Amino acid sequence: MAAVVEHPISPEVENSTMGSQLDALNQWVMDVARVTQPDRIQWCDGSDSEFAELVRGMEADGTLLPLNSETHPESWLHRSHPDDVARVEHLTFVCTSEREDAGPNNHWMSPADAHAKMDALFAGCMRGRTMYVIPYCMGPIDSPLARCGVEITDSPYVVANMRIMTRMGAAALARIEREGRFVKGLHSIGELDPERRFIMHFPEELTIQSYGSGYGGNALLGKKCHALRIASHQARSEGWLAEHMLILGVENPQGQTHYIAAAFPSACGKTNLAMLIPPEGYRNEGWKVWTVGDDICWMRPGPDGRLYAINPEAGFFGVAPGTSEKSNPNALATIQRNTIFTNVGLTDDGQPWWEGLDDRKPAFDWRGNAYDCNGPAAHPNARFTVSARQCPSWSPKAEDAQGVPISAIVFGGRRASLVPLVFEARDWKHGVLVGAAMGSETTAAATGAVGVMRRDPMAMKPFCGYNFADYFAHWLSFDKPGAQLPKIFHVNWFRKGEDGKFLWPGFGENLRVLEWMIERVEGRASATDTPIGALPKIGDIRLDGVALSDEARRVLFDFDRAGWQAEVDSLASFLDEFGTRVPVALKNEQARIAAELRNG
Strand partners, 364: 346, 370
Q: Are 298 and 312 contacting, i.e. CB atoms less than 8 angstroms apart?
A: yes
Binding residues for substrate: 87, 215-217, 266, 381-383
Q: Are 311 and 292 contacting, i.e. CB atoms less than 8 angstroms apart?
A: yes
Identity at 445, one-letter amino acid code: A
What fold does the segment set 4-63+90-239 form as a domain? Phosphoenolpyruvate Carboxykinase; domain 1 (3.40.449)
Entry field: residues in the chain: 600
pLDDT at site 8 = 55
pLDDT at site 4 = 67
Binding residues for GTP: 267-272, 383, 414, 507-510
Q: Are 136 and 168 contacting, i.e. CB atoms less than 8 angstroms apart?
A: yes
Active site residue 268: yes
CATH class for the region spanning 243-314+396-599: alpha beta
pTM of the predicted structure, to 2 decimals: 0.95
Q: Are 245 and 291 contacting, i.e. CB atoms less than 8 angstroms apart?
A: no
Strand partners, 211: 188, 198
CA-based end-to-end distance of the chain: 77
DSSP-derived 3-state class of residue 432:
helix
pLDDT per residue of the chain (600 residues) written in tens, 0 to 9: 456 666 554 433 333 334 566 788 999 999 999 999 999 999 999 999 999 999 999 999 999 999 999 999 999 999 999 999 988 999 999 999 999 999 999 999 999 999 999 999 999 999 999 999 999 999 999 999 999 999 999 999 999 999 999 999 999 999 999 998 999 999 999 999 999 999 999 999 999 999 999 999 999 999 999 999 999 999 999 999 999 999 999 999 999 999 999 999 887 889 999 999 999 999 999 999 999 999 999 999 999 999 999 999 999 999 999 999 999 999 999 999 999 999 999 999 999 999 999 999 999 999 999 999 889 999 999 999 999 999 999 999 999 999 999 999 999 999 999 999 999 999 999 999 999 999 887 643 343 455 678 899 999 999 999 999 999 999 999 999 999 999 999 999 999 999 999 999 999 999 999 999 999 999 999 999 999 999 999 999 999 999 999 999 999 999 999 999 999 999 999 999 999 999 999 999 999 999 999 997
Binding residues: 87, 215-217, 224, 244, 266-272, 295, 381-383, 414, 507-510
| Cα–Cα distances in angstroms (integers) from residue 293 to residues 274, 349, 506, in the given order | 7, 33, 20
Supply φ then ψ for residue 524, to 5 degrees.
-110, -10
CA 486 – CA 424 distance, rounded (Å): 11
DSSP-derived 3-state class of residue 41:
strand
**Among the options 225, 268, 391, 464, which is catalytic?**
268
CA 531 – CA 399 distance, rounded (Å): 40
Count how many Cα atoms sit within 13 Å of the Cα of residue 487 in the half-sphere of its side chain: 21
CA 262 – CA 250 distance, rounded (Å): 13
Q: Are 424 and 526 contacting, i.e. CB atoms less than 8 angstroms apart?
A: no
Give which of 271, 232, 244, 246 is closest to 87, Cα–Cα: 244
DSSP string covering 276-319: ----HHHHHHT-EEEEEESS-EEEEE-TTS-EEEE---SEEEEE
CATH 3.40.449.10 intervals, the chain: 4-63+90-239
Give strand ranges (E) for 154-238. 167-168, 183-188, 198-202, 207-211
Count how many Cα atoms sit within 13 Å of the Cα of residue 281 in the half-sphere of its side chain: 8
CA 136 – CA 333 distance, rounded (Å): 27
CATH 3.90.228.20 intervals, the chain: 243-314+396-599
pLDDT at site 596 = 97
Q: Are 212 and 82 contacting, i.e. CB atoms less than 8 angstroms apart?
A: no
Containing H/E element for 184? strand 183-188
Give which of 326, 369, 586 is closest to 458, Cα–Cα: 586
CATH 2.170.8.10 intervals, the chain: 315-390
Q: Are 459 and 573 contacting, i.e. CB atoms less than 8 angstroms apart?
A: no
CA 298 – CA 142 distance, rounded (Å): 15
Count how many Cα atoms sit within 13 Å of the Cα of residue 499 in the half-sphere of its side chain: 7
pLDDT at site 453 = 80
CA 263 – CA 532 distance, rounded (Å): 19
pLDDT at site 11 = 36
Binding residues for Mn(2+): 224, 244, 295
What fold does the segment set 315-390 form as a domain? Phosphoenolpyruvate Carboxykinase; domain 2 (2.170.8)
Q: What is the dihedral of CA 221, 223, 228, 230, to 10 degrees?
A: 20
DSSP string covering 434-449: HHHH-EEE--HHHHSS
Q: Are 470 and 236 contacting, i.e. CB atoms less than 8 angstroms apart?
A: yes
Give which of 229, 227, 186 is closest to 315, Cα–Cα: 227
